[in-house]
Amino acid sequence: MSDFLLLAGKVAADGLFAVVACIGFALISNASRPVCLMAGLLAGLGHATRYVLLHLGMGITSASLCAATLVSFCSMFCARRWHTPAEFYAFPALLPMIPGMYAYRTILATMHFLSAAEPSAREALLVEIAYNALTTCCVMGALVIGAIVPLFALHEESPLARWRHHRTAGPEGGDAEHGGGARQD
């Protein structure tokens, strides 16, 4: 039970820090107070989801993809509920998940690589540079894919939404539930 409480505390702290960061990012873009608060809640949800998935053994790229997809789907719900663009919720909520530490380690290892004279140290630093740079790029790609796919898939003008509308409409454009065709007088 104490392990569960410890994990729950870590998840809550992780989510709370993401909420604070997200609200700061949302305020920079001059969003309204309700948008800032909802984006903050989405950031907390996404960051906590990623933290739990990482704790369960999933890799950071896959966990980031799942969390970004969840945030993006929730932002679509918020957009429809409050008649605001989904990007107002999704983008600030995803900013705290950018892998800044991996990017920082890439730059730091690059600086050490440039000043190292010993070949074995340069080889180890080159491996560290490649690992951190690839991790940064893969996580950023996962965040982009997780954010964009639901936005494109559920937007009213997306091919999926048009297909769904076409499927519910009858063969002549009428409502399938009320006879399936155009009204004939």
Report field, pTM of the whole predicted structure over 0.85: no
Provide the percentage of residues in the chain whose pLDDT is more than 70: 84
What is the mean predicted confidence (pLDDT) over 111-132? 95
Amino acid letter for position 139? V
* CA count, 13 A, side-chain hemisphere, 4: 1
Amino acid letter for position 43? A
pLDDT at position 150: 86
pLDDT at position 153: 81
Look at residue 65 and tell me whether its pLDDT is greater than 90: yes
163 pLDDT tier (thresholds 50, 70, 90): low
At residue 115, what are phi and psi to the nearest 5 degrees? -100, -5
